[in-house]
Structure 1
Amino acid sequence: MSFSVRRRGFARALVGIAIATVMLPAPLASATTGSDAGSTGSLQSSGLADAVNPDWMGRLPDGAGLAGLSLPGTHDTMASGASVFAQTQDADLPSQLRAGVRAVDIRTRHFRNVFPIHHGVEYLNSNFTDVVVALTDFLSAHPTESIVMRLKEEYTPAENTRSYADTLNWYIDENPGTRDRLREHLWRPSAGYSGGLPRLGEARGKIVVLRDFDAVAWPGPRFGDASMAIQDTYELTGPADIGRKWELIRAQFERARTGSPDILFINHLSATGNPAALVTGTVPVTVARGVPGVVGILPRTEEYLKADGPGRLGAVMADFPTAELVTEIIEQNFR
């Protein structure tokens, strides 16, 4: 397929997004304009960019296992500033890290032997080098911290002359913009590694990759292997289906509280109405914050955490997390 044909196809997709945004159904239009919005439905800022929790892992002992912690996380971490159907965050990556986020979801398309960052078809105006620079700048300034990074191959590969794993190794070993940074800050298992996530002492100042791509040999845990338990039901039929999603989230929290500390429980608060989002108005922001008459996932989660007492939560992957939610998840590690 020629570049001009691909470009026309992408342009048509953007036109479709623009038209869909103009023709928003009532629930989404209310969320977008902020009308009838109290605790739900508004596109007001989450306030996450104003939160300051940059060194909270420094309060934990080296012997603490990463899998046994409560980790604030973001789903589709780089999707701030995207279209209304793809946007999942309103704070950039440095702001998320400063606020206390320690589990990130990085989705890379393999295109022309490099990694542009995508959410599905939509390019998010950043590339893997930008991610590496942000993560390693933060870890250099805050060496007590560790970042768990799901690295996922996203959308359709095109015009490559090598495998995804080979391109990743190029970033690690050859690319001048990332090689020195990753040599210092990429966690590699020590001899005798038997699976799972490391202890915090071993992982301080490091990025721990959860591999969500094909590779013949890649050291460390694979996303979804036996060292993890994942809740990621992400397609809803409409706003009324948010209650069903919440029950899945709540059940995963309960499993994390009682499960093995060696298993990383990953709980996605995120969901959307694909493929019927245009019809129902069920997009990431309406699921997260709710619409008039339907309480969103974020206020349900905040209420649950305040009422249910202490306990390990695992990695909590949220869309548009508030400063209050991130702080509450962090504090679960010290109660």
Structure 2
Amino acid sequence: MKRALAAVGGIVLGLAVLVAPSAALAADASYRTLSTASHPDWMRSLPDTRSLAALSIPGTHETLAIRGGAWTQTQENFGDSAATLTAQLGAGIRMIDIRARVNTGNTLTIHHGATYQNANFDDVLTRLSDFLGAHPGESVVVRLKQECTGELGSCTDAPGQSDFQDIFDAYVAKRPALFWAPSVTRSTGAAMPALGQIRGKVVLAVLNGPRGGVLGHYGLGQFAGWHDGSSTYVQDEYNVPNLGAIATKRDQVRRFLDTTSAADPSLMYVNFASGASVFAQPQQVAGGAAGVQGVDPFLLTYLGEGPDVHTPVVRTGALMLDFPGGGLIDRIVSLN
């Protein structure tokens, strides 16, 4: 869970129930209809020479956050043990955001703040391996973050365990064929790959510490400056203090989208459409509430508008979405 939300803790969340804002808009092509999209092999037809950075990639923020209630859930629930990930991959999602707690036995479990998401890191890797084995023309990009800060509202890592990097290395050592090796080397950040180099592989984009700092030199060298919130190549203004501020979040996403579309295609951009606070639930920011348009329906419209309205978007980069709808996923994939 983001620090802005974790800081309020359980007491404030309890009070917030008494003043909970109105429910989000109903499901539509942009929101809460992931299963209407089916793109299990959309990368397969793209040339091997195409840079990963040049793609328009549908992604999910807090990919496995399906438990814990309205202030914690960020994705439709398609099942525990990372079954939700399998559904997302089949729909076309190709960048995922995994948050892990250090558990006993030097293992990693999946959390959103204090809430265990009924999945372990082994489940994630098994689902990725099964999908890529069946669809070897695809690749999946992963942002992995150590979730626990030990603060109120967050989780606490199990004591007496190895450090996060050593535990991660042990997982990689058990499944070396699953990962694109340059991205999981602790000592050296990887150059941006072309699709031909990463088909059938998991690419680690970044390994973040519990407060957003980068751990080691894992991932893509371009993201060495990926810390908490926004940076040169990442837009993650996650604090949306109230429903009226959803409009500000829409504008942040739009401006970063325009920057991405016009930028050097050899550089990768990651644009978080997600946001939350005590007074704006993730579902409300994504789908809209109280007459305020959500980010997801805004994106579906904006990505489809032609030059008579604004300069068309030709590349989205990785769009990290809460509760994405099938039509929105379709539109992002179509830009490739």
TM-score surpassing 0.5?
yes
1:96 counterpart residue number: 88
- Would the alpha carbon gap of residues 260 and 168 (structure 1) be closer, same or farther in structure 2, given more than 3 Å must change? same
Greater share of helix: 1
CA separation in 1, counterparts of 2:177 and 2:313? Answer: 35
Q: 1:211 is aligned with what amino acid?
A: V
How many Å apart are 1:121 and its aligned residue?
A: 1.7
How many Å apart are 1:161 and its aligned residue?
A: 2.9
* 1:294-327 deviations in Å (ceiling 9; x for gaps): 1111111111011143501100000000000001
CA separation in 1, counterparts of 2:327 and 2:264? Answer: 27
How many Å apart are 1:194 and its aligned residue?
A: 7.2
How many Å apart are 1:99 and its aligned residue?
A: 0.2
Q: 2:171 is aligned with what amino acid?
A: Y
Q: Counterparts of 1:7-46 in structure 2 under 5 Å?
A: 19=14, 23-28=17-22, 30-31=23-24, 37=25, 46=32
Are the counterparts in 1 of residues 65 and 72 from structure 2 also a CA contact under 8 Å?
yes
1:107 counterpart residue number: 99
How many Å apart are 1:169 and its aligned residue?
A: 1.4
| SS class of match (2:87) | helix
In our comparison, the structure showing a higher alpha carbon Rg is 1
Are the counterparts in 1 of residues 64 and 117 from structure 2 also a CA contact under 8 Å?
yes
How many Å apart are 1:236 and its aligned residue?
A: 1.5
2:36 matches 1:50: yes
2:240 counterpart residue number: 236
CA separation in 1, counterparts of 2:322 and 2:138? Answer: 22
CA separation in 2, counterparts of 1:219 and 1:327? Answer: 28
The one of 119, 129, 147 aligned to 1:154: 147
How many Å apart are 1:224 and its aligned residue?
A: 5.0
CA separation in 1, counterparts of 2:273 and 2:215? Answer: 28
CA separation in 2, counterparts of 1:68 and 1:45? Answer: 25
* 1:175-226 deviations in Å (ceiling 9; x for gaps): xxxx2xx3222001299x8744210000100000022235445464474538
Are the counterparts in 1 of residues 273 and 319 from structure 2 also a CA contact under 8 Å?
yes
Q: 2:246 is aligned with what amino acid?
A: I
Question: How large is the RMSD of aligned CA atoms in angstroms?
Answer: 2.6
1:263 counterpart residue number: 267
2:334 counterpart residue number: 331
CA separation in 1, counterparts of 2:216 and 2:304? Answer: 44
Q: Counterparts of 1:58-137 in structure 2 under 5 Å?
A: 58-91=44-77, 92-112=84-104, 113-137=106-130
Decide which moves more: 47-56 or 93-102.
Answer: 47-56
- Would the alpha carbon gap of residues 83 and 145 (structure 1) be closer, same or farther in structure 2, given more than 3 Å must change? same
Structure 1 residue ranges, 4+ long, deviating more than 4 angstroms after superposition: 13-17, 37-40, 214-217
Q: Structure 2 unaligned runs (5+)?
A: 1-8, 78-83, 150-156, 209-213, 307-311
Are the counterparts in 2 of residues 87 and 284 from structure 1 also a CA contact under 8 Å?
yes
CA separation in 2, counterparts of 1:186 and 1:262? Answer: 22
How many Å apart are 1:255 and its aligned residue?
A: 0.6
Are the counterparts in 2 of residues 209 and 221 from structure 1 also a CA contact under 8 Å?
no
* 1:61-102 deviations in Å (ceiling 9; x for gaps): 000000110000000000123321110000411110000000
- Would the alpha carbon gap of residues 209 and 194 (structure 1) be closer, same or farther in structure 2, given more than 3 Å must change? closer
How many Å apart are 1:293 and its aligned residue?
A: 1.5
Are the counterparts in 2 of residues 110 and 160 from structure 1 also a CA contact under 8 Å?
no
Are the counterparts in 2 of residues 54 and 100 from structure 1 also a CA contact under 8 Å?
yes
Are the counterparts in 2 of residues 211 and 222 from structure 1 also a CA contact under 8 Å?
no
| SS class of match (1:27) | coil
| SS class of match (1:212) | strand
- Would the alpha carbon gap of residues 171 and 297 (structure 1) be closer, same or farther in structure 2, given more than 3 Å must change? same
What is the number of equivalent residue pairs in this alignment? 296
| SS class of match (1:317) | strand
2:289 matches 1:284: no
How many Å apart are 1:115 and its aligned residue?
A: 0.7
How many Å apart are 1:237 and its aligned residue?
A: 1.9
- Would the alpha carbon gap of residues 239 and 167 (structure 1) be closer, same or farther in structure 2, given more than 3 Å must change? same
Are the counterparts in 1 of residues 65 and 74 from structure 2 also a CA contact under 8 Å?
yes
2:322 matches 1:319: yes
1:201 counterpart residue number: 196
* 1:5-54 deviations in Å (ceiling 9; x for gaps): xxxxxxxx77986x568x353524x34xxxxx5579xxx97121232110
* 1:229-277 deviations in Å (ceiling 9; x for gaps): 010001012000011111111111111111111211111000002xxx1
